[in-house]
Amino acid sequence: MPDVAAPRWGRDGQTGGMTLRFYQLAVDAHDLPAQARFWCAALDWRVLYEDENEIVIGADENALPGICFLPVPEDKAVKNRLHIDLSPDDQAAEVERLIGLGARRIEVGQPSDVTWVVLADPEGNEFCVLRPKRTLTD
């Protein structure tokens, strides 16, 4: 893989702060190509690298972070301890689009009055579709 020279942002919002960056999220999967297809369609990303041991997807190879799918033999057994939150312009339309791609609505104990929708990808990994947000504290 090429060296990624993405800007490094410090706490003050200026470049040059931290020397650490969020590179990619690793996701265990049974069917790597199916998971990659789902998430590429969901995020409008593309496959950047593929072999029998991993598939890496992203917006492009210089846009961090990416997602790396890795093969595992066991099934997902419990609720994820980590999940992705997506912020669309239109929550209802995006939920329907994602369901059309193979996601499904799930209940994980969330109250009925929350402003997000919990979905699972084709292998059962939970993710949330939030109301539209513009900042991390919105």
Would you state the pLDDT for residue 63?
A: 94
pLDDT at 15 over 80: no
Whether residues 65 and 91 share a domain: the answer is no
Residues contacting residue 18 through CB under 8 Å, at least 6 positions apart: 8, 9, 10, 11
Greater model confidence, 32 or 79: 32
Q: What are the pLDDT digits (tens) for 25-39?
A: 999 999 999 999 999
- Boundaries of domain holding 65: 22-73
- The total number of structural domains that make up the chain: 2
* Predicted TM-score of the model (pTM): 0.83
CATH number for the domain including 116? 3.10.180.10
Query: Is residue 10 one of the residues assigned to a domain?
Result: no
Q: Given pLDDT bands bounded at 50, 70 and 90, which one contains residue 113?
A: confident
Q: What does the alpha-carbon distance between residue 9 and residue 5 come to, in Å, rounded to a whole number?
A: 12
End-to-end CA distance of the chain: 35
Q: Is residue 88 located within the same domain as residue 135?
A: yes
Mean pLDDT of 110-116: 89
What is the rounded distance in angstroms from the CA atom of residue 19 to the CA atom of residue 120?
A: 34
